[in-house]
């Protein structure tokens, strides 16, 4: 799991790139639905996805805390998978 660092005042985007995993699973499979969940205390401003990646925009958080962000997808072929990242909020 990757850890990213963000300032409490920053508004940043984080990408979940599923292209390699999808190609390994089945070259023709694509993301059908994507759900992004964020630990309480960090704000999800918006999220979007296309056929191979999901992007979430985050703001807020309290310096010194680490928050988990999870992207759960369902593919057109019915595969279900999730990935998580940690966001460590620190004054920068």
pLDDT digits 0-9 by tens, 11-49: 999 999 999 999 999 989 999 999 999 999 999 999 999
Tell me: pLDDT of 3 over 90: yes
CATH number where 58 lies: 2.60.40.10
Q: Based on the structure, what is the number of domains in the chain? A: 1
Integer angstrom CA distances of residue 20 from 8, 51, 52, 62, 90: 32, 12, 9, 33, 31
Predicted structure pTM score: 0.95
Give the pLDDT confidence score for residue 92 in this predicted structure. Answer: 87
74 phi and psi, to 5 degrees?
A: -125, 135
Residue 38 belongs to what domain range?
2-89
Say yes or no to pLDDT of 1 above 90. Answer: no
């Amino acid at each position: 799991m990757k850890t990213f660092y963000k300032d409490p005042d920053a508004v940043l985007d984080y990408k979940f790139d599923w292209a390699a995993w999808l190609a390994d699973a089945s070259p023709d499979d694509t993301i059908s639905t994507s759900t992004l969940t964020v630990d309480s205390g960090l704000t999800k401003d918006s999220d979007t996805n296309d056929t191979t990646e999901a992007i979430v925009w985050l703001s807020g958080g309290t310096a010194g805390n680490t928050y988990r962000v999870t992207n759960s997808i369902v593919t057109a072929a019915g595969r279900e998978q999730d990935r998580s990242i940690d966001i460590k909020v620190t004054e920068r």
